[in-house]
Amino acid sequence: MPTTDNLPFRSVTFDLDGTLLDTVADLAEACRRMLAELGEPPRSEDEVCRFVGKGMAVLVERCLTHDRAPTPERLAAVIAVFQRHYTEVNGQQTRLYPGVLEGLDAWRASGLPLGVVTNKPARFTEPLLERMGLAGYFAVVVSGDTTAHKKPHPEPILHACRRLGVAPRHNLHIGDSKNDIEAAHAAGCTAFCVPYGYNEGRPVDSADCDALVSDLLAAHRLALTYLDLKHK
């Protein structure tokens, strides 16, 4: 069994929505309820999937934007409506992506401390991790309101590294979007990406990340030899 002595990284952080969990059905349902309450035109699940990535406020703003964006006052009021509905549905239709449990088990068996870095607010992140049976895997959870900035700003990942006691250059971040790649690289971390997430409707470009991996278990296998391969 690999140990921290023969792994090239000293910690691993993971994105949540689109990487560990497929949450779009719950997000779409909360959007549907929100828009129906407001008398606004509905959005399809595909649209909501494209709107996910930069946090809850941006998701709501994109749902409301047709000819023009909502005013800041209206946006703030509607975010509260969305949060009320999302509280009711959070986790009901969420599913683990294939390979997530196997990958997390492999990382945990290696002895590395693990963390979550997500743009989802903490009031929804922590109950969702508990509901999906994932909370026990993570030594630190950084949510969208833990720091002053969200991904793609590097601060959430830097905050996670500080909490984990690991220099960013020794941390591997795994996500599904350009936001994850930009945040990880700006923080000085290696960035692996999975191809099955949201990424605001755009396929992840393997040229942008350090490695494109099929799932978390494949990421673990690659990490065992990654630095050797990189320097050949």
CA distance to 30, 32, 67, 88, 197, per residue, from 43 (Å):
11, 7, 15, 19, 19
Tokens linked to 140: 């630190």
Separation CA 118–CA 141 (nearest Å): 8
For residues 62, 30, 124 and 192, what is the CA-based torsion angle, rounded to 10 degrees?
A: -50
Q: How many CB atoms lie within 10 A of CB 96?
A: 14
Candidate list 5, 15, 22, 176, residue with the active-site label: 15
Cβ within 8 Å of residue 61, ≥6 positions away = 69, 70, 75
Give start and end residues of each alpha helix (H) in the chain: 24-38, 45-51, 56-64, 72-89, 100-109, 122-131, 155-164, 178-187, 216-223, 226-230
Is 15 a residue of the active site?
yes
| Beta bridge mates, 117 | 142
* Backbone torsions φ then ψ of 157, nearest 5 degrees: -70, -40
Q: How many CB atoms lie within 10 A of CB 203?
A: 8
Residues with catalytic roles: 15
